[in-house]
Structure 1
Amino acid sequence: MTVIPDEVLEEFKERMKITSNSEDKNLQRMLVSSFNRITELCGDFDLERESSGKDLVFERTRFMYNDALEYFEDSFLSLIQSFAFEQLPEVEPDEKI
């Protein structure tokens, strides 16, 4: 099961200007869902080290929070593709895929 560190939750709340703790469990679920979806689309990554991946997780969560999730992938398609390309393993020229 994916666990979102408290620091990441707090960073998201700061970005969204959410000051209350009353929504923390719901926000955690949304962040986990978003992380899992971005991982499905782009490959596995470290949420705390990959700023592009974290930004995509935050943006997807923002869309979900605002009941507009159906627009996320179309709106961020180029960034999703770029991040997915960055996650591909490097292959030596003489290696077979």
Structure 2
Amino acid sequence: MAAYAGDTLKYVGSVGTGFKERDQATLRTTMDKLAWKRKTPPVEYSGNRRVVWAQPTLIAEIEYRAWTSDRKLRHPSFKGLRDVQDKADVYLLTDDKA
């Protein structure tokens, strides 16, 4: 996941919970229509986890408990995709989180 810090996207962690079986199928179908896979990360990332990178085009609604000291989301949970038409905003990091 990423959030805007100025004009750039910053990595804020990954989400692995909150997906219902129907959500997973819908999300995969939606992503397959977008030519979504990337070989390189769209954000600066120095982790060593095995990751499949996606083009940052979809807006997800994520519930989380807090920010960690390394500026990642604590306990993020997927709630669904937002429609572009609903004028959903991408989270903007402030100086205390950027």
TM-score (norm 1): 0.31
* Larger helix share, 1 or 2: 1
TM-score in terms of structure 2 length: 0.31
Rg comparison, structure with higher value: 1
The answer to which structure has the higher strand fraction is 2
